[in-house]
Structure 1
Amino acid sequence: MRRDAFLKSMATLAAAGMLPLSARASANLKMMIPANPGGGWDTTGRALGKAMQDAGVASSVSYDNKGGAAGAIGLAQFVNGSKGDPNALMVMGAVMLGGIITGKPPVTLSQATPLARLTSEYNVFVLPANSPHKTMKDVVEQMKKDPGSIKWGGGSRGSTEHIAAAMIAREVGVDPAKINYVAFRGGGEATAAILGGNVSIGGSGYSEFAEYINSGKMRAIAVTSDKRLKGIEVPTLKEQGINVVIGNWRGVYGAPGINADQRKALTEMVIKATKSKAWSDAMEKNNWTAALMAGPEFEKFVDDEFASLRAVMVKSGMV
């Protein structure tokens, strides 16, 4: 093949997003973050983008934050605006599944293309530093007296902290439908509400509250893990006689309508990024647990998670 003809064919493949991974190192990626700045999805998306550049699989990454409805607003924009785009990515996770179950949005996650699960993380419940409550026992006792007097703050309806609050209520004999849950569009808003004492108790991934816990501005009273988190002296709910364990996980999807080769290339790019120093640093800084899963295995995992979360939410009176 003549050189000019070869270059022309490569340009055509590049435009279609069909070049192999090694030839797409200069990809200009677009990352949809279906949440406001400051939360777990925002941190994950920007860490992944930096890692993809660090790994040499992307020359640039632009970010679009679109919060609300447990990610459904960002999902709708991604599904409707990125069809067939091999350079488009979207951060997602367990929270989005819960939001879809409770909110029943007009678009579904199945319209986008599953690529990989990235991390898992357990939630921590915290009190404002000046709270009259000191322990989860105090919160539970007050909730038993008057369920509405305890304001639970966290992510959108259907988030893992919302589900956990409903599960806690059910376990201690309180009607989950009576809990006073205040949903926020992003981690930044929830953090501000907790610091300002506008909610009684807040929940989120540990990484989002770590600096405030360490500085004494928040008091951590329980984690939703089965066992205590490594290096973190916060008791589990189970230790405190509340049989609730629920984890959070985050992953990444590609656009609707991309072909098998484009999906494979994007997946390889994501996997390569998780092997970079930038990603390793982000994992350590945010106390994330590696949970890499890709391909058909990840697609099946998401389907199974939908079924599992729906069962938990029905049992807890949320659906």
Structure 2
Amino acid sequence: MKKSRSALVAIAAVAALALAGCSSQNAAPQSDSDAKGDASSFTDVSLIVPADPGGGWDQTGRAMSKVLTDGDIVGSAPVTNVGGAGGTVGLAQLGNQKDPATLMVMGLVMVGAIETNASNVRLEDTTPIARLTDEPLVVVVPEASKYKTLEDLVEDIVDKGQEVTVTGGSAGGADHILAGLLLEEAGVDGAEIPSKLNYTPNSGGGEAVSLLVGNKVTAGISGVGEFLQYIEDGSMRALAVSSAEPVDALPEVPTITDAGYDVVLTNWRGVVAPGGISDAERDELERIVTEMHEDKAWTSELETKGWADAFLVGSEFDAFLDESIDDVTGTLKNIGLI
């Protein structure tokens, strides 16, 4: 698969539940119209962020909660963080969730983490609700780093292997995939990438920031929104972005393609609900998320965070998710990560 792997995965971001008291409050009692198949009415929803605070999934969940409640779309939308294993810990809890008025933030990262962690619960076991955003990744180094260009960094990884440390999100996620694709494009055989790449995964963006700002690692990869403030305040130096075109928030930073590597990869994020909910319950969750998407406050959140609007619901999101799962699994095999 030649790497405009945007075809790959962006096509080509992350929690457990507020379990106590959710079921009785969120799902309205079934009326006669409900029994006839009309949509249920959820006055509240619970949001699962299957990652520690500070990363893209957390930012997404908290932005959703704010827009949903400030816009009176629902009465409350509490966020619960449960990090670990690329979101698969939170995914396992979603698998046990009985309250249909529950949304879990997920995305490309989780698609890969399910494979690398051999998760028993898969996205196929959930109910897809919507794709929300798409975001380029950025490769950064600490401000004091000797590396001035992406080529400098990649060539040193090729030459020195494990001596060069790279941090990012969970194993098998978008950040990890991008690092592997860069080495493959630099001529490293896919089977050799795992032994050549010294990659430190994190369960939330805050951990990666601490490692980078503290000069504990050589380089980092994450969504532009997660590192932007540290790039702007000079704590980090951006070497390249993973989109096809330069991003508005970092207009002077070259794309990876411009830096000499034919790789394009963006990180999408969306939400899913528990598996086995009724059609009426799925319709109601899609209505809630669609109303959020149409709120001007959500548009403002997209602009502030530097996220692209990638909204999809219904059968279109179902088809996209199936394609993403197939593409990511194939790519992880090609670059030796599974």
Q: Which residue of 2 aligns with 1:4?
A: none
Query: Does structure 1 retain, via aligned residues, the 8 Å contact 2:212–2:220?
Result: yes
Moved over 4 A (4+): 16-21
Query: Does structure 1 retain, via aligned residues, the 8 Å contact 2:151–2:260?
Result: no
Distance between the aligned counterparts of 1:144 and 1:91, measured in 2? 35
Distance between the aligned counterparts of 1:192 and 1:309, measured in 2? 28
Matched, 1:284 2:288: no
Structure 1, unaligned runs of 5 or more = 1-9
Query: Does structure 2 retain, via aligned residues, the 8 Å contact 1:89–1:254?
Result: yes
Query: Does structure 1 retain, via aligned residues, the 8 Å contact 2:39–2:283?
Result: no
Query: Does structure 2 retain, via aligned residues, the 8 Å contact 1:127–1:218?
Result: yes
Residue from 31, 36, 44 that aligns with 1:28: 44
Structure 2, unaligned runs of 5 or more = 1-27
Task: Give the superposition deviation at 1:11.
Answer: 4.2
Matched, 1:249 2:268: yes
Query: Does structure 1 retain, via aligned residues, the 8 Å contact 2:249–2:306?
Result: no
Q: Which residue of 1 aligns with 2:16?
A: none
Q: Where in structure 2 are the equivalents of 1:220-259 lying within 5 Å?
A: 220-232=238-250, 233-259=252-278
Q: Find the structure with the greater CA-based Rg.
A: 1
Distance between the aligned counterparts of 2:100 and 2:303, measured in 1? 30
Q: Where in structure 2 are the equivalents of 1:68-87 lying within 5 Å?
A: 68-80=84-96, 82-83=97-98, 85-87=99-101
Distance between the aligned counterparts of 2:154 and 2:168, measured in 1? 17
Give secondary structure in 1 for the equivalent of 2:138: strand
Distance between the aligned counterparts of 2:102 and 2:38, measured in 1? 15
TM-aligned CA distance change 1:87 to 1:147, over 3 Å: same
Q: Which residue of 2 aligns with 1:43?
A: 59
Distance between the aligned counterparts of 1:250 and 1:152, measured in 2? 23
Residue from 174, 180, 184 that aligns with 1:160: 174
Question: Which of 263-272 and 101-110 deviates more?
Answer: 101-110
Task: Give the superposition deviation at 1:134.
Answer: 1.9
Distance between the aligned counterparts of 2:29 and 2:136, measured in 1? 45
Task: Give the letter aligned to residue 28 of structure 1.
Answer: D
Give secondary structure in 1 for the equivalent of 2:78: strand
Q: Which residue of 1 aligns with 2:224?
A: 206
Task: Give the superposition deviation at 1:231.
Answer: 4.6
Cα root mean square deviation, aligned: 1.8
Flag the structure with higher helix content. 1
TM-aligned CA distance change 1:111 to 1:137, over 3 Å: same
TM-score, length basis structure 2: 0.86
Task: Give the superposition deviation at 1:152.
Answer: 0.8
Q: Which residue of 2 aligns with 1:6?
A: none
Matched, 1:89 2:103: yes
Distance between the aligned counterparts of 2:52 and 2:232, measured in 1? 24
Give secondary structure in 2 for the equivalent of 1:162: helix
Q: Which residue of 2 aligns with 1:315?
A: 334
Task: Give the letter aligned to residue 318 of structure 1.
Answer: L
Residue from 193, 198, 209 that aligns with 1:180: 198
Give secondary structure in 2 for the equivalent of 1:146: helix
Distance between the aligned counterparts of 2:163 and 2:120, measured in 1? 34
Task: Give the letter aligned to residue 94 of structure 1.
Answer: L
